[in-house]
Each structure stands twice: as C-alpha cells, then as structure tokens.
Amino acid sequence: MRSIYTLKKKCAHTSARTGTLFTHHGPVETPVFMPVGTQASVKALTPEELINIGAQIILGNTYHLYLRPGHKLIKSMGGLHKFMNWHRPILTDSGGFQVYSLASFRKIVEKGAIFQSHIDGSRHELTPELAIEIQEDLGSDIMMALDTCIPYPSTWEEAKEATDLTTRWAKRCLAARRDERLLLFGIVQGGMFEDLRKRHTEELLAMEFDGYALGGLSVGEPKELLFQMIELSRPMIPEDLPCYVMGVGTPEDLVECVSRGVDMFDCVMPTRNARNGMLFTSYGHIVIKNARFATDDSPIDPECTCYTCRNYSRAYLRHLFMARELLAYRLNTIHNLHYYIKLMEQMRAAIQEGEFVQFKRDFYSKRQGQEAKP
Amino acid sequence: MRSIYTLKKKCAHTSARTGTLFTHHGPVETPVFMPVGTQASVKALTPEELINIGAQIILGNTYHLYLRPGHKLIKSMGGLHKFMNWHRPILTDSGGFQVYSLASFRKIVEKGAIFQSHIDGSRHELTPELAIEIQEDLGSDIMMALDTCIPYPSTWEEAKEATDLTTRWAKRCLAARRDERLLLFGIVQGGMFEDLRKRHTEELLAMEFDGYALGGLSVGEPKELLFQMIELSRPMIPEDLPCYVMGVGTPEDLVECVSRGVDMFDCVMPTRNARNGMLFTSYGHIVIKNARFATDDSPIDPECTCYTCRNYSRAYLRHLFMARELLAYRLNTIHNLHYYIKLMEQMRAAIQEGEFVQFKRDFYSKRQGQEAKP
C-alpha cells in the first residue's frame, strides 16, 4: 500500500501525534480541522478568507452536491475545486449520513439507500458505486466509502446488521474506484457495541483503504461512550494511516480526541453557531445578542488575531446581529473558524515541542465550558 | 461662504462636469455614486471590499441608526466611522424620507415628524434639531437638512404647504448645527410643480448650505418629470456648489442626470437587486436564476474586472443563488456596486478628456435596457 501519511512526532504521555497527510492538491498538517462547505461554499466566506484563517482542507457534502447542482454539472465545469475557486484539498463525505438525517423518506436495501430529496421530494437511489462516481466526478481529494448510519440507541442485532452491510458496501466502493489519485477512506461502524466496533475495525483494516474514519459517533450518545469507542478502535489502526473522527465537536472534544490519537475532524459547530451568534473564546463562549455587549467596545476575544477581532467591537457585532445584517454571519464565521483552526495549530505545535500535556492543562484552566467572563 | 467644491472640467456639449468635493474625511471625486449602508453596513460587504471596488463615500440612514442601535450609543463608541470601521467620508440622510416610507404611523406637525418605529412600534418625534443632533453624534461628513416628503401625485396646495414647512425646517437645521467641520446640505422640494420648485430652490439658495440636494424625485413620477425638475433647479445652483439627486437610479438615469450637471447619487438599486439576483452588465442586466446560466462557465460580464467576475462563473453564481447561500448575496453585491462605481469613473474620465458625448453614444449602443444577450 502507498504511504499517504508521515508521522512527525508523538506525545510521550498521551496518544496525540502530529504528521502530514499527502493529497492530490497538496499536503495537510495534522491534527487538522476541516471547515464544512456543504453546498460548494463554506457559508458566508470566500476561499481567500479561508486561506487567511489558515484552513488547509475543507469538506464538501456528496448528498447536497449530488442533488444540487448535480455532480455531472460540476464535472462539466472542471470539478469542485474550479467550480468553487478553492484550490487546496477537499474531502467529501459519502452521503450516507445526510440520507439518514435529511432525506424526507429513506429505505436501506442491499443494493443501496433509497431516499426522497429534502429539496423537491424526488426519488433517488444512492449505491456504493454511485457514491464513488459522484465523488470522483467532484474530484474530491479524499473520498469516503458509503456507510449505513446506526441510530443511538440501537439493539445489538440492528447494529450488527447495519455494520455487516457497511462491510459489503465498503468492498463495492473499493471495487468501483477508477481514479487512484483520489484517496478513499473506510468508515468504521458498530454502534456502541465493543464487539461489533472491534470486529468492524478488523474487517475494514483487511481492505486496502488509504485511511480510516470512526463513524456513527457524536449521534447523541454520552461523551464517555464516544471516547470509549475511539479508545477501542484507534489503537488497532496502524501508525502509518490517518484516523478521522466524523462530526466532532466542541473545542474540548477536539482536545480529547487528539489526546486519543485522532488526526482529522469536521463539524458544523463553529460555522453554524457563528450564524446563531454563539462565539468561541479562549475563556469559553459568548452569546453576542446579550444586552451586556451593547456598549462593549472590546473585541470578541482580546487574545484573538482574526480579522473580526482586529477590526470590530462586540458592540458593533451585537448591532449587526440584532439588525440581521448579512455581515454579522460572515464576521462571526471568520472568528469561530479562526478559533478552531488556531486551536489545531496550537495542538500541533505543542505536540511537536513535547508540551501537549502542558497545553491541555492551560487550555482547561482558561475554558470553563461556560459563558466567558473575562 | 467656504469653498468645499472645486470644478475640474465641464463638458462643452452637455451640463456634465467633474470636480472634487472636500470633506472632513478627505476628498471625493465627482460625479460620484454612494453605496447605501443603511444600518452601519453596506449589506454583505466589508469596508475593505468597498475600497477595492473603488467606493469613495457611503451613505448611512439617520432614521435606522437613530432607532437601532441609537446615535448616543454610536457616539459613545467613537462615532459611525470607527463603529463600522469605514474611514472614508460618510453622508447621512435626514431621516425624513424613511419616516415617510417606513414608519408604521406618522404625522407631520410644525415642530417635526411624529412617527412609530417600524421595528417595535415605539413613538418618536423627529425635529429638525434632533435630525442635526443625530447626524453630528454619528460624525457624518455630509449632513442633510430635515425635509418633508411629498407623495406623487399631490395637489399644488399640498405640495406648497409641505415645501414651505421644509423651508422653515431648513432654517432650524442651520441654527441647530454645532460642528462646522461637518457639511450641511439643504434639500429642494416643491413636488412636480415648476413654480414651487423654482421658488424653493431660491429660498434655500438664500441660506448658507454647503451644497444642495434635489429631493422628492424618483417617487413614482414619469422619467420626463424627473429630468424636467432637474433641468429647472440645477442651473440655478452656483457652479461652486455640489448638487446631489437623492435616490437615483438606473445606469441610464445616472448618465442622464450627469448630463444635466448632477454631482452626487445614492440608490439601493445595485445592492438590493444584487440580493435578488439581478446583475448589471455593459450589455444590460441578467437574472442569474435563469436556467440558461446553469452550465454557463463565463463570468457575469466578460468586460468586468471585479473580484466576482475574475473568479466565478455564472453557473456557480446561479448555484449559490438557488441554494440560498450567503456567499451569493455578497458576490452579486460586489459585482453590481463595481458596475455602478466604474460607470461613474468612466464618466469622470470622459468629461475630463472632453469625450462625454462619445461616451454616452457608446453606453447606449451597448445597453438596451433589456436582458443582456451577449
């Protein structure tokens, strides 16, 4: 198997590690956070702003792009990178999770997932082969194998059935792949059952994927279960392969997952919360519509160096938010993504310097998981 | 009277002219188009984007800023320029037109305009003295005197009554002014009646305003009446004073008004139409949601050099618009404002070179006032 990941440094006290992931559109330093660009756009931002923030790689959603504007259209426009003017790496999910969470009707059969579009009710069938075809047409740097999602809670029997199907689909995804330049990751399922997780990790590791995602997590389970499932699968994955935990999470979740050896993350939290006026700071979060910010001329976070914090006061951001000005969503998104991306940069640097344990201590001593009171 | 305007060149065949208007925040080359930044934000754009587009001066709305976040709050934050991070000139209107067009209830009395907020129904009284106080607290470079708006059509008696009241309010505005660094313009009313327009122009010219606006136009009257009223008042205003026509208009309107000697313009058309997907080009406008743009990989306007046209296809812009992505409003706004501001630049250059008549001919030969068919 080709080597797409180079380990640079491991933490001596935790499983945290830093390395480089090589893709068709260039290298990515890990651990990395990938902003979500669902519909060929990271909501409210231009590619230049993402680059200024330090985004190395973004995520696109196969389900959304397949339905609108369509993968064939994007292919005819020269692929997703050219279409959206983003020339760094792109990871696309398989569409499985969105069929599960968004489609107005869905039925999982051996062949694939039958569903109705949340946009116009039209009927579609997403097979493993189609999931790969869509992602290859988009020109994704990292494609994900189609998986079946398992609700939480589920019975052992339900979880086993869905997990076995995911294994059969994973094989079909590998067989369907045509463009070897595009990486393909497998997704470990197994619900919250240790035996199923363990067995599924083994089954997928026996196939030649370029990397592995731990899926079906962050679906409403207690935080302890999330970490338990990661602690179970992560050590089984060889050191020269990247490990991605999908849909995680809060800043604290990122720190805990990095401690457990996870390399890649994506989550709508920084972007979606920005649009709802919830802003991350080194000392916790603030809710910008709070009346106490009306005459506050300080920036969101005095320690932050983002465009928003360098140029605008909390008072102005509160005004924009209350007046529903479009600029509010943008300035808030710049700040929150900057917070997430700097957090990953700080973790990479701390691991490199052998100071990750100290970093974690400092991080927790500042953040209370509560509203900031600086 | 101090001189705030320097004439640079007059057209030999029309009344078009180019010059420089001097304000507390620097000079403005005229004729000029002022993007509308109603609520302390030109919708969807940052100040840096406005500067890149070439915006020299923007407009803020007194009515909106008085109601939310309040002029006292903005004053305590260091004024409107600092609050919104825009350090070039700002013109503020007087609030009179918004009371007329937006307030849920209004009554005009000698003292001022009594109205209910369109936001929360609260009751307010906007007097000439308060209009000046608000604009001085905002730190506006060019303040407008409070006027009364005259609906179209109106009777001669109604128009006369409102015009006479505007004269009395104009005097009170001049008397209320405290900060001489901030310019104050009078607004000519008179409805669509030649005698009233003429007399009102004379009455206001007898007062020491720094410049004059022609108001109560573009309120639904036929285009001929608009030009007729301008042709009546404009020649009466001395050459060393700037002339501003409020709320105008289409690209064709701008060209016609410049031909008649107007120096300053503002209009929501480029920004509002952008958010509705109507985009200006040298050959007319296009409606981006039109299905024929779905697979069109050319820019909005092949002759345009704006950020949007340099980086994105019509196909991508259509996708963003159909998917209601926030980036759509922003990219469209950049393009439309760029079109308006370049149009003014082209007119200034043409007047300077003595080629304004040729410019007009070329402009009309390309634009059909219809949807573009390039």
pLDDT at B213: 98
| B193 in contact with chain A, both atoms CB, cutoff 8 A | no
CA dihedral sign, ordered B62, B66, B72, B76: negative
Cβ pairs bridging A and B (under 8 Å): 100
Burial (Cβ within 10 Å: 0-12, 13-18, ≥19) of residue A266: buried
CA distance B93 to A280: 37
Show the tokens assigned to B353. Answer: 């070179």
What six digits make up the tokens of B115? 């109205």
To the nearest whole Å, the CA of A70 is away from the closest chain B CA by 10
Laid out side by side, the sheet with A113-116 consists of: A105-108, A113-116, A123-126
Give the residue numbers of A annotated as catalytic, written as ranges: 93, 266
Closest CA to B300 of B343, B267, B339, B250: B339
Looking at residue B3, what is its pLDDT? Answer: 82
Average pLDDT, chain B: 96
Query: Is some CB atom of chain B closer than 8 A to the CB atom of A323?
Result: yes
* Element holding A30 (H helix, E strand): strand A26-30
pLDDT at B2 over 90: no
Active-site hit among B137, B141, B147, B266: B266
Of B39, B316, B327, the CB nearest to A325: B39
Residue B17 is predicted with a pLDDT of 98
Looking at the predicted structure, is the pLDDT value of residue B356 above 50? yes
pTM for this entry:
0.97
CA–CA separation, B97 vs B149, rounded Å? 6
Q: Is B320 on the interface with A (CB under 8 A)?
A: yes
Given the cut 0.95, state whether the ipTM is greater than it.
yes
Other Cβ atoms within 10 Å of A310 Cβ, number: 10
Give contacts of A315 with chain B, Cβ < 8 Å. Answer: 69, 73, 77, 83
Residues of B in contact with A297 (CB under 8 A): 77-78
CB-based contact, A84 to chain B, within 8 Å: yes
| Helix B251-259 with B356-366: angle, nearest 10 deg | 160
- One digit per residue, the tens of pLDDT, for chain A of length 374 reads 578 999 999 999 999 999 999 999 999 999 999 999 999 999 999 999 999 999 999 999 999 999 999 999 999 999 999 999 999 999 999 999 999 888 888 999 999 999 999 999 999 999 999 999 999 999 999 999 999 999 999 999 999 999 999 999 999 999 999 999 999 999 999 999 999 999 999 999 999 999 999 999 999 999 999 999 999 999 999 999 999 999 999 999 999 999 999 999 999 999 999 999 999 999 999 999 999 999 999 999 999 999 999 999 999 999 999 999 999 999 999 999 999 999 999 999 999 999 999 999 999 999 875 555 54
Whether the predicted pLDDT of B369 surpasses 70: no
Domains annotated on chain A, with CATH: 5-30+61-267 (3.20.20.105), 274-354 (no CATH)
Q: Give the pair of three-digit tokens for residue A151.
A: 């609700």
Average pLDDT rounded to a whole number, residues B4-24: 98
* CA distances (Å), origin A177, targets A93, A134, A144, A163, A208: 15, 11, 11, 21, 12
Within an 8 Å CB–CB cutoff, is residue A285 touching chain B? no
Taking contacts as CB-CB distances below 8 angstroms, the residues of chain B near A44 are 326-327, 330
Looking at the partner chain, which of B68, B85, B294 has a beta carbon nearest the beta carbon of A69? B294
Cβ contact B297–A46 (<8 Å): no
pLDDT tens profile B201-231: 999 999 999 999 999 999 999 999 999 999 9
A58 in contact with B, Cβ within 8 Å: no
Q: Tell me whether residues B41 and A325 touch, CB distance under 8 A.
A: yes
Q: Which residues of B touch A77 (CB under 8 A)?
A: 295, 297, 313, 315-316
**Residue % of chain B over a pLDDT of 70:** 98
pLDDT of A1: 55
* Minimal C-alpha gap between B164 and chain A (Å): 36
Give A305 to chain B, closest Cα distance, Å: 16
Q: 3-class SS at A291?
A: helix
What pLDDT is attached to residue B374? 42
- Can you read off the two tokens belonging to residue B259? 């031909």
User: Which residues from chain B sit within 8 angstroms of residue A85, using beta carbons?
Assistant: 311-312, 316
End-to-end alpha carbon distance in chain A: 51
Closest CA of chain A from B329, distance in Å: 8
Burial class (CB in 10 A: 0-12, 13-18, 19+), A53: buried
Of A39, A316, A319, the CB nearest to B325: A39
The closest alpha carbon to B270, from B279, B257, B262, belongs to B279
Residue type, B140: S
Cβ pair B289, B321 in contact under 8 A? yes
Q: Identify whether the C-beta of residue A167 lies closer than 8 Å to the C-beta of residue A196.
A: no
Q: Who among A39, A76, A84 is closest to B295 (CB)?
A: A76
Q: What's the whole-number mean pLDDT along residues B180-186?
A: 97
- Within an 8 Å CB–CB cutoff, is residue B78 touching chain A? yes
| B299 close to B308: Cβ distance less than 8 angstroms | yes
Nearest chain B Cα distance for residue A79, angstroms: 11
H helix runs in chain B, sequence order: 47-53, 62-67, 71-76, 80-84, 96-101, 128-138, 156-176, 194-205, 223-233, 251-259, 269-275, 307-311, 314-322, 326-352, 356-366
Give B-chain residues touching A117 at CB under 8 angstroms: none
pLDDT at B103: 82
> What tokens does A72 get?
């064939």
Nearest residue in A to B298, CA atom: A77
Number of Cα atoms under 13 Å in the Cβ half of residue B231: 9
Contact B164, B196 (CB under 8 A): no
A85 lies within 8 A of chain B by CB:
yes
DSSP B92-158: E--SHHHHHHT-SEEEE-SS-EEEE-TTT--EEEE-HHHHHHHHHHHT-SEEE-------SS--HHH
**Residue A205 belongs to what H/E stretch?**
helix A194-205
Residue B9 — very low, low, confident or very high, per pLDDT cuts 50/70/90?
A: very high
pLDDT at A367: 87
Q: Which of A209, A211, A235, A228 is nearest to A32 (CA)?
A: A211
Cα(A102)–Cα(B184) distance, integer angstroms:
56
Assess A52–B contact: CB distance below 8 Å, yes or no: no
Nearest to A316 among B46, B83, B326 (CB): B83
Please tell me which of the candidates B46, B78, B327 has its beta carbon nearest to residue A327: B46
